[in-house]
Structure 1
Amino acid sequence: MMEEHRQCFAIFFFIYLVFCTSQFATSQRLVNFISGVPTLWINRPSIGGKFSRDILNYTPILLEGNASLRFLYGFSCTFDHTECFLGISLVLYNSTGETIYIEGGQLIWSANRNHPVQVNATLQLGRDGNLVLADSDGTLVWSTNTTGKSVSGLNLTETGNLVLFDTTNRTVWQSFDHPTDCLLPGQNLVSGQKLTASVSAYNSSQGLFSLTVLNGSLAAYIDSDPPQYYYASDNPDSLYWSFDGHTLTALQYPPTSTAQFIKLGHDGHLRVYHFGDLNWEEVDYILSGDDCRYPMVCGRYSICANGGQCTCPVEVNFFKPFSERNPGLGCTELMSISCDSSQYHSFVELKNTEYFSFRFNYELNSSVFWLEGQKIEDCQRACLSNCSCKAAVYDPYRNMRGSCLLLNEVFSLIDGGLGTVFLKVQNSPNAPVIFPRQKTPFKVIIGCTLIGILLILSVCSALSKKRSEKRKAGDFLDLEPILPGILTRFSYNELKIITQDFNRKLGKGGFGSVYEGTLSNGTKIAVKHLNGVGQVKESFLTEVKTVGGIHHINLVKLIGYCAEKSHRLLIYEYMVNGSLDRWITQENGLTWHKRQMVISDIAKGLAYLHEDCSHKIIHLDIKPQNILLDQNFRAKISDFGLSKLIEKDKSKVVTRMRGTPGYIAPEWLSSVITEKVDVYAFGIVLLEILCGRKNLDWSQTDEEDVHLLTVFTRKAEQEQLTDMVDRNEDMQLHREAVTEMMSLAAWCLQGDFSKRPSMSMVVKALEGLVTVETNLDYNFRNVPKIGAGNQPREATISSKLPSVLSGPR
């Protein structure tokens, strides 16, 4: 009898899984809770819906509500299925016979807003109680982290809350505790939680604006470093919420409202939406204040006047509009501030100008740098002495003593008021550095001095222009041999169109920012906009010459460039999965198999640079930020701005120190380096990949654990290297193989560069063709005197099959 029951249950469970992953035909097939684990759902979009101009396709999992407007939990995909999000949507749900219609989709919560998945992605509620989202290739994207918490089922409540519950129906995990950019009636926002707006109306990734509860106030801020607040109130008045200083609770108003939610928009505004007759309508605009008091209303460095008009500071020598046609995009500096040339820093003084965050940052006791009871000269001096400071805001009447606010980032400025804003600017070495507020009573002397300065500037400008033209001509003559038929030269206007006025930033590096763009044929590209002069120009020429003439599967492909007036831009192939650094510390990061593949790809790319090019190319800046991953997580080396080309027959080169702290080999102290500096940096990156943490991690509570190499040395001495393996579940399953690969990292990190393997030797070690050196020194800063290094040993060729070190071929 029991056996018959088991068979019946198995048949029932199989049918249940089939309906969960098949095309939903009738409303009866959608249930509001799932009980019993394990359970699996596959993203196979089958129900189409149209709302406004957005066409979405759904894979429903749970549905709650009896009216036509319902909460739907499941996958929602763009019309071409290129991006899919697991989340909760408010939708119009209608069924006619065997046909289901879903319209009006508003995504109010998403598990993977920063990491869209593809068709055939899976959601699994496992026996261990963990709800896990994996992409179609098996990459772990998100989980509830509820392993071992006796989860017995999944439920979508009538208020739109996704709940994991245990055998006693106690809530183990709920989506209400992890808001994205929306609050539903009945949902709380407490200290430690925040709403984070999307990048734009068409990009759901996390943007700049956030709302949180801080120090007894409801506070909205732009996520700079440190945050800058543009709204704060300990008694925010609204019919749509209640606030007691600790908890903000969203309310249903009026109580008869059909459906409603509060949303923090990509522009920083907090709005209430209500479903009307046929559409979502904005019914309230919650955060009070003039539009000019929103951080990005006019973009960076731009001045907002009454009526929302945006203008750049009048000093044309230092700022220009980002877009002549769209002044709301802000202003850009003509010359970036360089910490190496602080003697040429000065200020542009903007009188009767306010800054949105002045009052709120003071009231919230935020970590922004304040000076109180100071004179205006002290405020200027404090900003000039701090290279991170980009502007100083001074209010002589704040608290009757005068207050100074130092800014690391400058957003929209406000015309009018009693304050003064000093914008730090970089002067040309050929121009005189004039600091503000320098006065002299001798008018005749001033006049003569100005005339003299103008004459000197005119002569210097003419000479400089002549030299510049010669230099540019020479630069591009040098490039001519490698450009024809290989690289495309773009105009700056073309790139503005391709990148939509540089609207979608992918990242920021030492010499500028990288933006996403799309060519006319639909091909996505990455555009690196270099800022500044001098070293940036050198970096541009180096990169074009280096990458323009070489091609390898593990090097990012350079498509073209732009060299127009002061603009220097490089155009690369687009890498969907971004840089490696964002995956190293991710809680559910890359699998062991993918990490092996990434390690092997980096090694092969470096081996090609060192040994297979016509010139030996030393990269000099190998780090996770410069390793990019394509759609299949194949790794490619990028950013050759610091690289050095040397003749094949030369083994060493003397050069100034280059690279990123934490990845610089110890022999740099002598300025005599070889390609082994790249091997050392590779060893650091390899260790970061295996341990799932950064080389320098300042979040560590124990100071001895901040430096990864310090921990590595200690654990090696204690024979406890398994403790360093990334806590990722898949990595723990392979910890013995991971620990064995740490010996390869140690080999690459030897203080004596002559004892490090070549990158081709590393590739052979990964393929199991050579054994790793065993007589290793774990004091990685133990540098022998020049000329005293031992010769590298001959590699031992292995007759065995490839070991666990083997990566994909």
Structure 2
Amino acid sequence: MGTSSLSLHHPPPLLLLLRLLLLPFVTAQTILNITNRCPYTVWPAALPVGGGMRLDPGKTWILKVPYDTTGGRVWARTGCSFDGRGNGTCQTGDCQGMLACQTDGQPPYTSADFSLDQYVNYSFFDISLYQGFNVPMEFLPMPDKAQGGPGCTKGPHCGASITSQCPSELKAPGGCNSACTVFQKQNYDMYCCEEPPCESNKYSAFFVRMCPEAISYSSDAPTKTSFSCRFNTNYQVTFCPPLNLTSSPPSPPKSADLRTLRKRSSVGTSISVAIAGAIVSIVAFIFFIIRGRRTQRRQEMEEEEEEFGQLQGTPMRFTFQQLEAATEQFKDKLGEGGFGSVFEGQLGEERIAVKRLDRAGQGKREFLAEVQTIGSIHHINLVRLFGFCAEKSHRLLVYEYMSKGSLDKWIYARHENSAPPLEWRVRCKVITDIAKGLSYLHEDCMKRIAHLDVKPQNILLDDDFNAKLSDFGLCKLIDRDMSQVVTRMRGTPGYLAPEWLTSQITEKADVYSFGVVVMEIVSGRKNLDTSLSEESIHLITLLEEKVKSDHLEDLIDKSSNNMQADKRDAIQMMKLAMWCLQIDCKKRPKMSEVVKVLEGTMDADSNIDHNFVATNEANFGIAGNANSSAPPIATDLSGPR
């Protein structure tokens, strides 16, 4: 065994001579296409072949690795600044102050590691996590059509983001600074340790779970193996990789058994003249129908499980047994809604909220949408999805725990709950947080994401009343080159934009819903409240009347003295809401403009129409370039959850 092992790395003289003779005919280099898909600039570094450079969003760096390079690595650095000589600093994955790297960077960082071995005609590659994480990335072989494919195993992918896990002192664009270099000595035990393996490094432990394909040097990491390809394979390294957020349509149900049964039933019925025969036929028919349905359902579940297993870029997948244990057999229910119930749980040191879906409610399409959408995007104002379970008939989603619950418990009339009225400052913060989350979905993702169910029940609050948008089961992706999408009606009555009458939707439908939510936050009541007098049932209709009579102050929440003291600011907030509530969707602002108004860097449009509810066939601002979908169905309308 010793001889064969040595021969792998030290070929015999004859083989070496053959290799040298064939050298002019061997591919002269391996190509690494390094692409930045992040919304911010990164400074990728490469050793020992590439040095470093600036890579703006959407740009690609083609790195040519000579055949005689035995191995190296590529990683991203963020928050960098350099002088004219290339000396400077980076917030993550620093290279000792050099733009052209000569040594490895300082952890934490994630790197694409590769080794090339022409003697065995293979190259090996992996993603490695060093004491934490820098930028989400993937390292994939590029197919060689001339040779019928890459001739190698799949590549590793790590699409999670550490930013939301960082203490504020460590946060950097795209990741974390090294805790060991930022915190004082007394904090080492809490955040990091001197050298890997590092049991107390909570960032490494987090990515052991979130990046199962990556090699981690945390002591609790399972053993990983490298991926391998033919020696002349080229590779694609992508920072913040775009994810395939569309799912394959479900397989059509297999009805061969049902057709056979109908035929048998028909024949049995036609020749049955005795009551006993009829009963036997009916019993047999029911038996085969039940068996056929069970078989069909089992096949569908197997197909669904296989489809979930093929998804790229999805978060961690849990077993039902794991989540049953984490929630202590679903003991503590946090809430219940139209699609299922939410339970409190614990995974290690992390408190979690587990949404157990009702199979009669949220279907496969909505479940796929939620897993792929929220599981592949990361923003401080979007609730984090840790993972999911798709096992037999079980469908569960694992979220971060939001201690204050949903916004509706805090803003509606006091007789419905015991929560104290929110101060005006807190209400403004919540409104700003929601706006920033929607702005990210609409304008900063690879595809525009329309949430389509913006309402207080889907806005969650943490200990400090930071607001995060949740529940992406009804979301819709809109290509950047499409002005709108034709889709079936979905959402919640009271929050639906007027253009739903046409089913031709843009992300501006979310802007209208946001305007409704702002009015609810300011007024402390539901948009549709049947407990009130007939003329006051609909808040947005009441808004039309009050703005025309110049009595907007009548709508301010009277249960809070603090709100009355900030009456002028509350009226300005209602004017922003009215801009969002324009019937013509083209006259509504973009959410990034809403954020600017809230931050005081621009003013809301004052030249607006004061009719906010469509009572006839109005101009909804529909554009001409639409992507077709299915006709409206009632089951996509969502109740509170």
What is the aligned partner in structure 2 of residue 755 from structure 1? 587
Q: Judging changes above 3 Å, is the alpha-carbon distance between structure 1 residues 609 and 527 closer, same or farther for their aligned structure 2 residues?
A: same
What amino acid is aligned across from residue 491 of structure 2 in structure 1? G
CA apart distance, 1:460: 4.7
Contact 2:389 2:396 in 1 (8 A): yes
Is the contact between residue 656 and residue 671 of structure 1 (CA under 8 Å) also seen in structure 2?
A: yes
Residue by residue, what CA displacement relative to the aligned partner does 1:23-75 show, whole Å, maximum 9, x if unpaired?
Answer: xxxxxxxxxxxxxxxxxxxxxxxxxxxxxxxxxxxxxxxxxxxxxxxxxxxxx
Question: Is it true that 1:607 corresponds to 2:435 in the alignment?
Answer: no
1:671 corresponds to which of 498, 503, 506: 503
Contact 2:381–2:437 (8 Å) recurs in 1: yes
Deviation at 1:510, TM superposition (A): 1.5
Give the structure 1 partner of residue 238 of structure 2.
none
Could you tell me which of 346, 351, 369 is aligned with 1:518?
346
**Equivalent pairs, count:** 350
Q: How is 1:75-114 mapped onto 2 (pairs within 5 angstroms)?
A: none
Does the Cα contact within 8 Å between 2:340 and 2:361 map onto a contact in 1?
A: no
The match for 2:539 is 708
Give the aligned CA root-mean-square deviation in angstroms. 2.6
Q: Secondary structure at the match of 2:531?
A: coil
- Is 1:597 aligned with 2:429? yes
Listed one character per residue, the Cα deviations across residues 185-240 of structure 1 (whole Å, up to 9, x for unaligned) are xxxxxxxxxxxxxxxxxxxxxxxxxxxxxxxxxxxxxxxxxxxxxxxxxxxxxxxx
C-alpha contact 2:579 2:608 (8 A) present in aligned 1: yes
2:413, 2:592 → 1: CA distance? 30
SS in 2 for 1:482: coil
Counterparts of 1:786 and 1:601 in 2: how far apart (Å)?
A: 32
1:475–1:519 CA distance, 2 compared to 1 (3 A)? closer
Q: Tell me the equivalent position of 1:462.
A: 295
**Could you say what secondary structure the match of 2:490 adopts?**
coil
Q: Aligned partners of 1:788 and 1:469: how far apart in 2? A: 44
1:509 paired to 2:337: yes
Is structure 2 residue 309 aligned with structure 1 residue 482? no
The superposition leaves residues 98-144 of structure 1 with CA deviations (integer Å, 9 ceiling, x where unpaired) of: xxxxxxxxxxxxxxxxxxxxxxxxxxxxxxxxxxxxxxxxxxxxxxx
Deviation readout 1:229-260 (Å, 9 max, x if unpaired): xxxxxxxxxxxxxxxxxxxxxxxxxxxxxxxx
List aligned pairs for 1:302-381, cutoff 5 A.
Answer: none
Q: CA deviation at 1:783?
A: 7.8
Report the CA distance shift for 1:569/1:431 in structure 2 as closer, same or farther (over 3 A): farther
The 3 A distance-change label for structure 1 pair 741 and 441 is farther
1:569 aligned counterpart, secondary structure? strand
Q: Which runs of 5+ in 1 are unaligned?
A: 1-427, 433-439, 792-809
Equivalent residue for 2:355?
528
* Equivalence for 1:544: 371
1:659 to 486, 491, 495: 491
Provide the C-alpha distance between the structure 2 equivalents of 1:611 and 1:783, rounded to a whole number of angstroms.
31
Q: 1:788 to 1:460 in 2, by over 3 A?
A: closer
Task: State the one-letter code of the partner of 1:685.
Answer: V
Change in Cα spacing, 1:555 to 1:788, as seen in structure 2 (3 Å) is: closer
| 1:719-798 equivalence runs, <5 A | 719-727=550-558, 728-782=560-614, 789=621
Given the superposition, is the C-alpha separation of residues 445 and 723 from structure 1 closer, same or farther in structure 2, using an over 3 Å criterion?
Answer: same
Cα offset for 1:734?
Answer: 0.2
SS of residue matched to 2:583: coil
* 1: CA distance, partners of 2:570 / 2:277: 77
- Say yes or no: does 1:618 pair with 2:466: no
Q: Tell me how far 1:455 sits from its aligned partner.
A: 3.1
Structure 1 residue 442 and structure 2 residue 270: aligned? no
Identify the residue that residue 556 of structure 1 maps to in structure 2.
Answer: 383
Shift of 1:471: 3.9
Distance 2:441 2:582 in 1: 21
Distance of 1:467 and 1:556 partners within structure 2? 30
Determine helix, strand or coil for the equivalent of 2:613. Answer: coil
With over 3 angstroms needed to count, the CA separation of the structure-2 counterparts of 1:688 and 1:788, relative to structure 1, is closer
Name whichever structure is richer in helix by fraction.
2
Whether 2:285 is the aligned partner of 1:452: answer: yes
Question: Do the aligned residues in 2 keep the contact of 1:537 with 1:568 (CA within 8 Å)?
Answer: no
SS in 2 for 1:451: helix
Task: Say if 1:594 and 1:633, in contact at 8 Å, map to a contact too.
Answer: yes
TM-score (norm 2): 0.52
Match of 1:585 among 396, 412, 422: 412
- Separation in structure 2 between the aligned mates of residue 574 and residue 535 of structure 1, nearest angstrom: 21
Equivalent position of 1:340 in the other structure: none
Q: Find the residue that maps to 2:612 and give its secondary structure.
A: coil
Any conservation in 2 of the 1:667–1:783 contact (CA below 8 Å)? no
Residue-by-residue CA offset, 1:434-471 (whole Å, 9 max, x unaligned): xxxxxx99343112221133234434543453344234
Of 474, 490, 501, the residue aligned with 1:642 is: 474
The whole-number CA distance in structure 2 between the counterparts of 1:634 and 1:719 is 33
Distance 1:786 1:741, change over 3 A: closer
Opposite residue 703 of structure 1, the aligned amino acid is: E
User: SS state of the match for residue 572, structure 1?
Assistant: strand
Residue identity matched to 1:492? F
Question: Partners of 2:279 and 2:392 in 1: how far apart?
Answer: 34
Question: Which residue of 1 is the match for residue 400 of structure 2?
Answer: 573
Indicate the SS of the match to 1:645. strand
| Secondary structure at 2:604 match in 1 | coil
Give the whole-Å Cα distance in 1 for the aligned partners of 2:348 and 2:441.
Answer: 32
Question: Relative to 1, partners in 2 of residues 1:784 and 1:776: Cα closer, same or farther, differing over 3 Å?
Answer: farther
Give the counterpart letter for 1:651 in structure 2.
S
Q: Which has the higher strand share?
A: 1
Equivalent residue letter for 2:549? Q
Would the aligned equivalents of 1:663 and 1:680 in 2 still touch at CA under 8 Å?
Answer: yes
- Alignment match, 2:60: none
Aligned equivalents of 1:431, 1:745: Cα separation in 2: 58
Shift of 1:682: 0.1
Aligned to 2:525: 693
Look up the equivalent residue of 1:625 and give its one-letter code.
Q
1:534 deviation in Å?
7.7
User: Partners in 2 of 1:558 and 1:736 — Cα distance?
Assistant: 39
The answer to whether the Cα contact below 8 Å between 1:490 and 1:560 also exists between their aligned partners in 2 is yes
Native 8 Å contact 2:424 2:563 kept in 1: yes
| Unaligned stretches of 5+ residues in structure 2 | 1-257, 263-272, 415-419, 624-641
Paired residues of 1:751 and 1:783 also in contact (CA < 8 A): no
Q: d(CA) in 2 for partners of 1:790 and 1:537? A: 30
CA–CA separation in structure 2 for the residues paired with 1:699 and 1:463 = 47
* Paired letter, 2:348: S
